[in-house]
Structure 1
């Protein structure tokens, strides 16, 4: 089978490749942030404020914009912002690696012919938890960093962090769908075994 389910050895090396790709991707994101002279922050007006004049434009409640703020302009809070930005990338990498570990364990159980044990169910559940945890935790850290950018610009009275929940909803749907598919396959396999026993 493809994507790591051919044999135990293939499974191991495919997962190592996935993990290495995640490390390289996270390293590239860190380098990109480090080498940039700007901090990107997506903001929107507070819901109960009138339209805001911002950098030559007019920002209405319900709209959001992406600011590219020079790091030199927010030097007094740059240390905390850097911690949040780098921390979100590192935390995201850890979550991906943990999810890959449980995916590897589940693939191993499939290869050895034990995909429907309690341990396998736990692996699938923790894969789902990892999928949901990624947007929740990294999004929270990025929000703290953006709030610091807003505070450094002294705009916290009128501007708020833009909080899109789309990523979280997609992650929840994927995680729940994964559990549903696994439960359906488990039940179908059990029914097939029972039917074989009756024949």
Structure 2
């Protein structure tokens, strides 16, 4: 069950079975610019068939959405993507991918409610597209990590260059990842959980 209130790491709220291991569920948001790989990220790591709300790009949308770096993209998320990942027997992550087009960003505040943190996916070919996502999560005080998506398996810019370009503080993890690869996306999510836990512990110290 996804928590609807403010997220905290604390006592488990459910058990798999009588006498079985305690289960903690956590909500994670996957954000970023248009075409950054959010739907692919959720789909590659989800242990269930991901729920997607994609619509075909129309001629009208191509006039406002930059497809130069993603000429083969034919659909876009209009509400959210949803997936699930069990990190182990006691921790289940529920993943919510946000729509990337600016005209759907009014939904973001609803999507982050109850989340423990966010992954901001970055396409280094269009760094400016993720500025708004970074600002959004920072303004709301939500822990986040930056996932530098290696399109075609190539990291076009170093992690240090991305940190400098986005003016990301040193405490925020930046991870090179491949949204198509399950282990890569899983490691990015683990980095986020660890970062959110550190933030939670520090806030209560």
Superposition TM-score tier, normalisation by shorter sequence:
under 0.3
**Per residue, is there more helix in 1 or in 2?**
1
Larger radius of gyration: 1
Using the size of structure 2 for normalisation, the TM-score is 0.27
